């Protein structure tokens, strides 16, 4: 029994398996790792923060920021992230869905409505914006080894610092029709193997 005898089934199984295994987040740019301990932060809305970055992919689907603490303690705040073009206060290309932050020292993942097209190698900006009352400290690093951008605070660039961030694209999960097709193809394939093995 070889795959050459069932090229359609083999191709369908390969494509659907690849799609199922490829789902999730693809990180493009990052100023830090998930294991990194971040203890410094910049307070919003007292400070108007933005992080510049230079994508190497042609889309942005998510941004991750490290939130340190909400003030007053125990309160919930709602945060969005704007994706800006050209400058820290440039045109807004898209905004993430609002996320309620209820804990401190956590990584928040903010999803854009879709993978937003961008030009690789061009400078873009993330801007965290509170949508509720209260305050929030966004984790930052100084010095930072990220060379593709910098932290902007109140219109001024920090030459050595960055927000802790990760960004990239979202690979969608396979839909129900794809999963059904995968299951049906696997059953047909296994039935044929069983029939050949018995006969």
Q: How far apart are CA 42 and CA 148, in angstroms?
A: 20
- On the question of pLDDT at 57 being above 50, the answer is yes
Q: Is the pLDDT of residue 190 over 80?
A: no
Q: pLDDT over 70 for what percent of the chain? A: 74
What is the per-residue pLDDT for 34?
Answer: 92
Task: Indicate the length of the chain as a whole number.
Answer: 199
Q: pLDDT exceeding 90 applies to what percent of the chain?
A: 61
CATH, domain range 25-171: 2.60.120
The whole-number average pLDDT for the span 119-144 is 94
Distance CA 65, CA 166 (A): 7
Residues 6+ apart with CB under 8 A from 184: none
The predicted pLDDT at position 180 comes to: 59
Structural domain boundaries of the chain? Answer: 1-23+172-199, 25-171
Q: Judge whether 109 and 160 are in contact, CB under 8 Å.
A: no
pLDDT, tens digit, for every residue of 147-184?
999 999 999 998 889 999 999 999 986 655 555 566 66
Q: Say how far apart CA 94 and CA 81 lie, in whole Å.
A: 9
Residue 20 in this model has a pLDDT that exceeds 50? no
Q: Which residue has the higher pLDDT, 106 or 28?
A: 28
Q: How far apart are CA 50 and CA 65, in angstroms?
A: 12
* Global confidence as pTM: 0.75
Pairing of strands 77-85, 124-130: antiparallel
Residue of 130 and 181 predicted with greater confidence: 130
Find the helix packing angle between 7-21 and 176-198, rounded to 10°.
Answer: 130
Write the pLDDT tens digit of every residue in 71-126: 776 688 999 999 999 999 999 999 999 999 887 668 899 999 999 999 999 999 99
Distance, in Å, from the CA atom of 50 to the CA atom of 64, rounded to the nearest integer, reads: 13
Say if residue 16's pLDDT is above 60. Answer: no
Q: What is the mean pLDDT of the chain?
A: 84
């Amino acid at each position: 029994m070889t795959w050459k005898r069932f090229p359609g089934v083999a191709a369908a199984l390969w494509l659907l398996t690849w799609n199922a295994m490829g789902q999730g987040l693809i990180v493009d740019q990052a100023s830090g790792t998930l294991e990194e301990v971040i203890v410094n932060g910049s307070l919003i809305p007292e400070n108007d923060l933005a992080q510049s970055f230079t994508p190497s992919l042609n889309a942005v689907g998510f941004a991750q920021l490290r939130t340190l603490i909400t003030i007053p303690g125990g309160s919930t705040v709602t945060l969005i992230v704007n994706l800006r073009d050209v400058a820290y206060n440039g045109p807004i290309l898209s905004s993430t869905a609002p996320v309620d932050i209820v804990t401190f020292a956590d990584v928040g993942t903010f999803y854009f409505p879709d993978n937003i097209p961008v030009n690789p190698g061009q400078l873009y900006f993330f801007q965290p914006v509170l949508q509720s009352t209260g305050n929030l400290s966004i984790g930052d690093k100084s010095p930072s080894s990220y060379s593709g951008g910098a932290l902007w605070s109140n219109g001024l660039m920090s030459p050595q610092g960055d927000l802790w961030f990760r960004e990239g694209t979202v690979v969608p999960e396979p839909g129900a029709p794809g999963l059904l097709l995968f299951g049906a193809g696997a059953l047909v394939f296994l039935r044929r193997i069983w029939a050949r093995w018995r006969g």
